[in-house]
A and B are shown apart, each in its own frame.
Chain A
Amino acid sequence: MNARIISALVIKDIVLIFRNKLFLLITVFGSIAYIAIYFVMPTTVDESLKIGLYSSSPVVPPVFQNLIDGGQEGVDVDKLDSDQALRDAVDEGTYIAGIALPADILTGDNPQINLYSRSDTPTEVSDSLAFMVSELAYVQSGQLPVTSQSVLGTDLIGKQIPMQDQMRTILPSILIIVQLFALATLISEEFEGRTVRAVLVSPANIVDFFMAKGVFGVGMAFGQGLIITAIIGGLATQAGIVILTLLLASLVITGIGFLCGAFSKDNMSAVSWSFVVMMLLLMPAMTALTPGVSNWVKIIPSYYFVDTLHRAMNFGMGWSDLWPSLLIMAAFAAAFTSLGVLALRKKVR
């Protein structure tokens, strides 16, 4: 291993990658877009539920009027003029749910209350709303039984995290995963252009070549991940764990990049391979923050980047909580870099 040779090869890779227009588009403009998206995300959670209400009765029952007047914390209720207007507003997403009160709400034996919700309304919200309405109707008329006053499902008000904090976790992960594309195409170009032969017939040997590619891959991924994390304030909590997670994630991606480069016959197949793998790796980035995520996602290495960053950045979890995830990431890093080097070595030979 020769430091002078490795540094010359790394500098060459940096020059080449910044002359690759597609990579520039993805990385430079992507990074700017990520940061812009982060800063336009809401910094607080809107904890109130916006609900529409239509009453067929000329007089809105007092308990429901109380809701309209803001008598219930966390619930904003607006009165609408017709059942159709209520349906339309819910359908357009103006309200998370709608309550349609019948004309006989105050006088009927079993008044029928209609609740409207959108298909993407969380079940917890619609269930909670149903309970609330039943309770209020009972209070109002004494006709509907109240079976429970507890909140069903997940209490979203307690668990919600501002969008900006969610992005703080996701953005560095996406940026690191995208480096897979750069590394895979760079490696495949070396083989397609036969430049690897020219390098390996100089004093540079195969170890220098792999080291240079590894340093470049990890450096690009980790460097960019760290910079964007710092910019968006991701190092404010558990900085050590966050930095280690970014480093391990970069190692995993470098190993996978080696594999994609080794299995690609040409530049086009490198783009295709890395795109498919990138899509797979991006899945946990989108789902890891959702409570009750499917177990199958946990076999995808990137789940652990996002999940560890999320727990460290947003909940301040420390080494004692996160060491299993860090250990799993270290194992993934060792496995993928070893497999990647073996595959590339075979290809070189």
Chain B
Amino acid sequence: MTDAIVAENLTYWYGDLVAVDHIDFNVASGEIFGFLGPNGAGKSTTVKMLTAQMKPKDGTATILGMDVTTKVRQIQSQIGVCFELPNMYEQMSAIENLKLFARLFNTKDFDGYDLLKRVDLAGRENERVENYSKGMRQRLMVARALVSKPKILFLDEPTSGLDPSSADGIRDIIRKESQRGATVFLTTHDMMEADELCDRVAFMDEGKLVALDTPHNLKLKYGRRALKAQVAGRGGELEEREVVMDRPDTPKAVEELFSSENVVTVHSEEATLGAIFMQITGRGLSG
């Protein structure tokens, strides 16, 4: 698999503030890559450099093998970007918005109606965006990012503010785009979403990349697995028992639990990405 995105020593600063501090990573073609971090971590600045909106102050970044500083138009014709905040032409209809961007991208065989059907906006195509709800606008933003059938999709909080059903619909689209061969660069605060969708995730904190791996490996590396059990006491009351996994004495502890206790329920507990992020950075994603 070739790399769709490569960042080497990528750096950007605003005055004295180093927003992105010499980060290195690569994203393989067709991969769904989660980019996680609290507000102000440097995610947006990184995305702006990768989408050729800003030139890196140091280091390099290539998109599909093209340098972001010199091949701006070529790069931007191959990517689709969904911004976190809605930025559609409000006084135009949904289909007019999509047609405009199809013309900008010179998309062949463009079918805006089909695209709107995919994001569950069929029947509302000719309504002006100013009359859309927040969720409808968000779905339209995703549709606009797909207009050019991009090779790389940059999605910034694409399910933010959506009801569970709509959010599932967007996640389904992300999976299908990945199956089509598109690379997805997903910025999100939703750790469950990242865990569910992403092949790999990167944690950003204070401009630095503090972790990068598959969710599974991150859990293995940083998380604590445990077996949680409820046992019945002598008087019939329920008590909690926990056996920490991945230790040398774990098999013996499990055996003892089942031989000496009256086990009522048992379930395993895995670390969440949120907990791992907190473990690594010492703070949560909201901060």
In the bound complex, residues from chain B placing their C-beta under 8 Å from that of A16 are 89, 91-92
Q: Residue A161 at the B interface, CB < 8 A?
A: no
Task: Check if A201 sits within 8 Å of B91, measured CB to CB.
Answer: no
CA distance A14 to B88 in the complex (A): 16
Asked if A202 meets B104 with Cβ closer than 8 Å, knowing A15-B96, A194-B83, A194-B85, the reply is: yes
Tell me if B88 and A195 are in contact (CB < 8 A).
yes
Residues facing B in A202-218 (CB within 8 A) are 202-205
Question: Which one of A195, A200, A201, A202 lies within 8 Å of B89 (CB-CB)?
Answer: A195
A4 contacts B106, C-beta separation under 8 Å = yes
Provided the pairs A16-B91, A194-B83, A194-B87 are in contact, do residues A201 and B76 lie with their beta carbons within 8 angstroms?
yes
Could you say which residues of chain B place their CB within 8 Å of the CB of A12?
89, 92, 100
- The chain B residue with its CB closest to the CB of A199 is B104
Quick check: B100 and A8 within 8 Å, CB to CB?
yes
Chain A residues lying within 8 Å of B104, measured Cβ to Cβ, are: 5, 8-9, 199, 202-204
User: What number of residue pairs across chains A and B have CB atoms under 8 A from each other?
Assistant: 61
| A100, B106: Cα distance in complex, Å | 82
A13 to chain B: closest residue by CB: B89
Which residue of chain B lies nearest to A200 when distances are taken between CB atoms in the complex? B53
Confirm or deny: B146 has a beta carbon within 8 angstroms of a beta carbon on chain A: no
* Chain A facing B: main interface SS: helix
- Residue ID in chain B nearest A204 by CB atoms: B104
The answer to whether B92 touches A198 (Cβ under 8 A) is no
Q: Separation in Å of the B279 CB from the closest CB of chain A?
A: 35
Q: Are the C-beta atoms of A198 and B91 separated by less than 8 Å? A: no
Q: Tell me if A19 counts as interface (CB < 8 A to partner B).
A: yes
Q: A5-B104, A201-B81 are in contact. Are A195 and B87 (CB under 8 A)?
A: yes
Closest residue of chain B to A5 (Cβ to Cβ) is B104
> Could you jot down 24 A-B contacts, CB within 8 Å?
A8-B100, A12-B89, A12-B100, A15-B96, A16-B89, A16-B92, A19-B91, A20-B91, A195-B87, A197-B53, A197-B87, A198-B81, A198-B101, A201-B53, A201-B76, A201-B79, A201-B81, A202-B101, A202-B105, A202-B148, A203-B73, A203-B104, A203-B105, A205-B72
